[in-house]
A and B are shown apart, each in its own frame.
Chain A
């Protein structure tokens, strides 16, 4: 039998190339005759653009052209929706106002492009931006979500009656009735502020239009190469096969790189054709903060109804979601918030209401977590408030309300980002909680460690929260697997890779079936010339959805190979096995044929070809789940807070999680580690800050605090549970966002617990020492 390679920590195929500095990232690509683009971006968040003088910029030596809205004619119109509206939800209303490729007459966020420069060098292109003089008439900026909805508020889109972008109500049971029966009702206002994805590699694009071949090649670190290709082709009147999108090695995605039909790709594809020269654009960090989408900003009015024993009867959450200046991504983020608010608890009555609001801030689209951290933060903060009110232990109140392991599948009654009613496919939440409590010595901490620390004047707090992670949503992905004449295996799929180890995990899935070494499987992701169908890398779905398609294609190739080998070796298929790149007859050493030889024979160059046969050892397969696979877990944390400086130190952090059967446990741990880092950033360091005029005050790493090595706990203690998903043959669930989801909730809980003697209650994430200090002062009545 071949050695098993699935469900194994195998070192990564891609690492040697990356480590040696030989991996090609976007800005490494150079082409003969390459031109460089730079965008002149609005300094105002909301203003009429009365005129724009580009004459000086055009005269600068080395400048090829400077273009404003009037140079783009019909191209200057709202782009396509990236995500359709959730028409499956009864009564949902929405106004779609999608991104303009370039501002015309009015700017709606600080950083919106008003002109684009093409020059012989990046330095000259950026110089030229300083010689462009827009004339603005500033307007009041719409920043506060609730004020934005008041009558008479300044409008972001003046053709709409208000700044309301969408409204959705979903309910299971009847909250109002449940509230009548409750012993206790607690109401709180909760804020979650905005964060940036801050991938280490900024966004960029390189475009080459080959006029003679009538073929456009686009290199872009997009999470959705197929969408970029399709949108480009249809906009330019080309066939899809005249546009090839190639994703080079990509330095992190974390959400915002999913967007296409952004000003950059729309304008620069047009200019590459017009100028008949290749064009490159690569953001610097400041521009990344100004030009790349971000997420989180919500205000919640939450209510929890309980019995005096702490049993949840109902939950109500009315919230405002900041969509930014446009809403091309529709309701994915707030729908994720709705589906993740109560998903792991038994709450028969749940009312959740979204009001999505336009503002003069950057467009909001998913950032690792994508609405889920907000839902979990709101729920877990409310549970803590309830525990405080009922004088219950925070772990116990969670334990008695968790969904039990025999309950699956559990229909949630809430429609999610995939427009179908949520179903929890599998899981074991009580075990995760118990395991986390045991790993962090919860009982000992409460009974011995914490009292002793408090007696010594130390501020040591514990937090423990559970969460779910909806992953692996539809619609579908596909894969093509081909055995080469060299005996190696090629896997191509439509999703793109931004560091998730797909070159290894996808190879493991194929190698498991085909009996080759993992290093002999060459995985191509995100090259529309290699595979032309699929939706993209988002919602922790790559491994689950594309991975399953790869498995199905590998099984087909294996069947095909066995059939052919059976004829050649004159042996029944049942007696054949795939081992070490050969198909061999079990128990008869030497009676075998190599996969490479077989692949060549499967593609005859002369002779006849039977009807219905398909050439090559090649197969294509597609997979689409009926609904997403739900991962879950429990995080616990011990914080030591300096009560004078409010500097927190994470002493211990325990993460118990379930992502089904991990393809590669080492990679899973890495994903969780990175998510936790982002979660710690979201809890305490990171905040995209807009002032009341809509100016972005955090457009550098000096101002936007990125968690560094010394900000992290000494060790992330991992506990795995492996509960296979019944939705796919490999039993896998996604894990990409798990770490980011519970961390702000756990951190804030631990912080409150640490500062027990102040009585502080913190209903806000994205904290800082000064923020915590002001909360403490408020609690003390100072």
Chain B
């Protein structure tokens, strides 16, 4: 039987101590062990970006990391942003600009963008396209996502 490894990880501000197989993907750990199913898995080989989370504040793909690599680290998932009743300004912007359809890729976009807007508070269209180029969306053609990021930047500037 595979040996289990004890890890301590803080997700969305909540500390967890868990025993995991060394090969357990971080995405599966988040989704199935912690039941935080807002993080989605679209390709399991690090291309589509649906599984993007913040790892010590940096956006990363959780499907190409192991859970054991998160030991001692802080993670934020889409559940950290807002609730259906009180959306984060970025989530509001996505809704207002119709930047999601099936919504499967959306959590990954949100986590990529929330990180990006922390670094670049007033990006141009081209910069936004570069920033989201690692996230795949099959429904929207990306244009409304670009619009949502611009709107979010404004909203977040107003909030801060």
Q: Collect the chain A residues with CB atoms within 8 Å of residue B138's CB.
A: 198-200, 252, 254, 674, 677-678, 706
Q: Give the residues in chain A near B31, CB-CB below 8 Å.
A: 27-28
**Can you list 10 residue pairs at the A/B interface with Cβ under 8 Å?**
A19-B103, A19-B110, A251-B42, A251-B102, A285-B44, A286-B44, A706-B47, A706-B136, A706-B138, A716-B141
Does A18 lie at the interface of the complex (its beta carbon under 8 Å from any beta carbon of B)?
Answer: yes
Question: Complex: how many Å from CA A249 to CA B40?
Answer: 12
B91 is an interface residue with CB less than 8 A from chain A: yes
* Minimum C-beta distance from A322 to chain B (A): 23
A14 to B144: give the CA distance in the assembly, Å: 17
**A259 interface contact, C-beta 8 A:** no
Inter-chain CA distance A684–B81, complex, in Å, is 37
Contact indicator per residue, chain B 71-97, by CB within 8 Å of chain A (1) or not (0) = 000000111011111010001001110
- Assess A712 versus B143: contact at CB under 8 Å? Given A19-B100, A21-B78, A701-B48: yes
A11 and B37 CA atoms in complex are apart in Å by: 24
In this complex, how many residues of chain B approach chain A with their Cβ under 8 Å: the count is 62
Q: Which residues of the partner chain B approach A202 to less than 8 Å between Cβ atoms?
A: 42
Bound form: Cα–Cα A700–B64 in Å: 14
Is the C-beta of B38 less than 8 angstroms from some C-beta in chain A? Answer: yes
- What does the 1/0 interface line of A484-510 toward B look like (CB < 8 Å)? 000000000000001111000000000
Among B41, B83, B95, B129, contact of A15 (Cβ-Cβ < 8 Å): B95
Chain A hits for B38, CB < 8 A: 20-22
Residues in B neighbouring A198, C-beta threshold 8 A: 138
Which of B125, B133, B141 has the largest number of chain A CB atoms within 10 A?
B141
Residues of chain A within 8 A (CB-CB) of B136 are 200, 701, 706, 708
Binding stretch for chain B, among A228-236, A264-272, A433-441, A665-673: A665-673
> A19 and B102: CB pair below 8 A?
no
Cβ proximity bits A695-715 to B, threshold 8 Å, 1 near / 0 not: 000001110001011101011
CB-based contact B85/A709 at 8 Å: no
Instruction: List the 7 shortest-distance A-B pairs measured between CB atoms, nearest first.
Output: A21-B38, A499-B102, A251-B104, A673-B141, A18-B103, A701-B47, A28-B37
Contact check, B142 vs A709: say whether CB atoms are below 8 A apart. Answer: yes
Q: Is the CB of A16 within 8 A of B85?
A: yes
**A25 CB-CB contact with B under 8 Å:** yes
Q: Distance in Å from the Cβ of A223 to the closest Cβ of chain B?
A: 12
Listed residue (B91, B98, B134) with the most chain A CB atoms within 10 angstroms of its CB: B98
Chain A proximity mask over B38-63: 1 for CB below 8 Å, otherwise 0: 11111111011010000000000000
Q: A676 contacts B141, CB within 8 Å?
A: yes
Q: How far is the CA of A716 from the CA of B144 in the complex (A)?
A: 10
Q: Is the CB of B44 within 8 A of A716?
A: no
Do B84 and A25 have beta carbons less than 8 Å apart?
Answer: no
Q: Given that A24-B37, A61-B1, A709-B133 are known contacts, is A673 also in contact with B91, CB under 8 Å in the complex? A: no
How far, in angstroms, from A15 to B148 measured CA to CA in the complex? 14
| Count class of interface residues, chain A | 35 or more
A25 contacts B37, C-beta separation under 8 Å: yes
CA distance A285 to B64 in the complex (A): 14
Chain A residue nearest to B41 in the complex (CB): A27
**B153 close to chain A: CB less than 8 A:** no
Is B42 a contact of A674 with CB atoms below 8 Å? no
Give 12 A-B pairs besides A20-B82, A676-B141 with Cβ atoms closer than 8 angstroms: A16-B85, A18-B100, A19-B84, A19-B87, A24-B37, A199-B104, A249-B102, A285-B44, A285-B48, A709-B128, A709-B129, A716-B141
Structural contact, B143 and A20, CB atoms closer than 8 A: no
Q: Which of A226-257 contact B (CB under 8 A)?
A: 249-252, 254
Collect the chain A residues with CB atoms within 8 Å of residue B37's CB: 21, 24-25, 27-28
B67 to chain A, nearest CB (A): 12
| Residue in A21, A498, A712 whose CB lies within 8 Å of B102 | A498
* B14 shortest CB reach to chain A, Å: 15
Judged by a CB distance under 8 angstroms, whether B140 is at the interface is: yes
- For residue B23, which residue of chain A has the nearest CB? A123
Nearest CB on B from A3, distance (A)? 19
Query: With a CB–CB cut-off of 8 A, which chain B residues contact A706?
Result: 47-48, 136, 138
In Å, the complex CA distance between A252 and B48 comes to: 14
Question: With A20-B38, A22-B38, A708-B133 as given contacts, are A499 and B139 in contact (CB-CB < 8 Å)?
Answer: yes
Q: Which residues from chain A contact B104 at a C-beta distance below 8 Å?
A: 25, 199-201, 251-252, 499
Bound together, the chains give a CA A670 to CA B94 distance in angstroms of 13
**In the complex, which residues 561-601 of chain A have their Cβ closer than 8 Å to any Cβ of chain B?**
none
Which of chain A's residues have a CB closer than 8 A to the CB of B1? 61
Q: Tell me the chain A residues, 20-61 only, with Cβ under 8 Å from chain B.
A: 20-25, 27-28, 30, 61
Chain A nearest CB from B52 CB (Å) reads 12
**A16 close to B84 (CB less than 8 A):** yes
Does B119 have its Cβ within 8 Å of any Cβ on chain A?
no
Q: Which of A19, A701, A710 contacts B94 (CB 8 A)?
A: A19
Chain A hits for B102, CB < 8 A: 199-201, 249-252, 498-499
For B50, B82, B83, B101, the residue with the greatest tally of chain A CB atoms inside 10 Å of its CB is B101
> Chain A residues with Cβ under 8 A from B132's Cβ?
709
Q: How far is the CA of A165 from the CA of B146 in the complex (A)?
A: 46
B32 within 8 A of partner (CB): yes
Q: Do the beta carbons of B84 and A22 come within 8 Å of each other?
A: yes
**Least Cβ–Cβ distance between A124 and chain B, in angstroms:** 10
Q: A19-B91, A19-B103, A21-B38 are in contact. Are A200 and B137 (CB under 8 A)?
A: yes
Tell me if B101 and A674 are in contact (CB < 8 A).
Answer: yes
Residues of the A chain whose Cβ atoms lie less than 8 Å from the Cβ of B98: 11-12, 666-667, 669-670
Interface centre among A27, A670, A701, A710 (most CB of B within 10 A): A670
Q: Please, how many angstroms separate the alpha-carbon atoms of A201 and B139 in the complex? A: 11
A24 to B85, CA, bound (A): 17
Question: Nearest-CB distance from B97 to chain A (Å)?
Answer: 9
Residues on the A chain within 8 Å of B128, using CB: 709
Kindly state the separation between the CA atoms of A673 and B47 in the bound complex, as whole angstroms.
22
Q: Which of B38, B45, B130, B138 has the most CB of A within 10 A?
A: B138
User: Would you call A17 an interface residue if the criterion is a C-beta within 8 Å of the partner chain's C-beta atoms?
Assistant: yes
Q: Mark B8-46, 1 if CB is under 8 A from A, else 0.
A: 000000000000010110000001100111111111110
Minimum Cβ distance to chain A for residue B28 (Å):
8
Q: For the complex, what is the distance from the CA of A20 to the CA of B83, rounded to whole Å?
A: 5
Query: Measured between C-beta atoms, what is the minimum distance from B100 to chain A in Å?
Result: 6
- Answer whether A200 and B48 are a contact pair too, CB < 8 Å, given A20-B78, A670-B139, A677-B138: yes
Interface contact B139-A252, CB-CB below 8 Å? yes
| B87 surroundings in chain A (CB, below 8 A) | 16, 19-20
Question: Are A200 and B145 in contact, CB atoms less than 8 angstroms apart?
Answer: no
Q: Give every chain A residue within 8 A of B106 (Cβ-Cβ).
A: 18-19
Find the A residue at minimum CB distance from B80: A21
Asked whether, in the complex, the Cβ of B143 is within 8 Å of the Cβ of A251, the reply is no
- Indicate whether B105 reaches chain A with its CB closer than 8 angstroms: yes
Complex interface residues of chain A between 674 and 729 (CB less than 8 A to chain B): 674, 676-678, 700-702, 706, 708-710, 712, 714-716
Task: List the A residue with the shortest CB-CB distance to B134.
Answer: A708
Residue of B at shortest CB range from A713? B143
Q: In the complex, A576 Cα to B89 Cα: how many Å?
A: 42
Which A residues from 356 to 413 make CB contacts under 8 A with B?
A: none
Nearest CB in chain A to that of B147: its residue? A715
Most buried by A among B37, B79, B134, B135: B37
A284 at the interface (CB under 8 A from B): yes
The complex places the Cα of A286 from the Cα of B41 at a distance, in Å, of: 13
A68-110 contacts to B, CB under 8 A, are: none
| Contact between chains at A702 and B47 (CB < 8 Å) | yes
- Nearest chain B CB to A737 CB, angstrom units: 13
Smallest CB–CB gap between A690 and chain B, Å?
21
Closest to A17 in B: B84
Chain A residues whose C-beta falls within 8 Å of the C-beta of B140 in the assembled complex: 670, 673-674, 677
* Residue of chain B at shortest CB distance from A714: B125
Closest Cβ neighbor of B44 among chain A residues? A284
CB pair A19–B47 under 8 Å, yes or no, is: no
Tell me how far the C-beta of B15 lies from the nearest C-beta in chain A, rounded to whole angstroms: 20
Q: Which residue of chain A has its CB nearest to the CB of B21?
A: A123
Docked-complex contact A670 and B77, CB < 8 angstroms: no
Cα of A701 to Cα of B31 in the assembled complex, Å: 22
Given the complex, which residues of A lie within 8 Å of B78, measured CB to CB? 20-21
Docked Cα-Cα span, A254 to B139, in Å, equals 9
